[in-house]
């Protein structure tokens, strides 16, 4: 038994072009939304190392940070 060619297996010819356009626009809006969400999550300001180190106190006797 011969399987159909992939081009014949999946076809979007029966879907009107404006429906496909709307579908792609919605897909790209959704992708854009998730890209913005991930940028907001990962856009964390980096603390200044020198300002942060002022708060660290090292006990000279045992070398443990407090």
How do the domains of the chain map onto residue ranges?
Answer: 14-40
b (16+ CB within 10 A) / e for 13-39 = eeeeeeeeeeeeeeeeeeeeeeeeeee
pTM of the model: 0.40
pLDDT in tens, the chain (66 residues): 566 666 555 666 778 888 888 999 999 999 989 988 888 777 666 666 666 666 666 656 655 554
């Amino acid at each position: 038994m011969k399987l159909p060619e992939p081009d014949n297996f999946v076809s979007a010819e029966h879907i009107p072009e404006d429906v496909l356009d709307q579908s792609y626009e919605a897909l790209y809006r959704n992708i854009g939304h998730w890209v913005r969400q991930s940028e907001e999550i990962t856009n964390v300001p980096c603390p200044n190392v020198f300002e942060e180190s002022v708060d660290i106190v090292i006990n000279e006797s045992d070398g443990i940070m407090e």
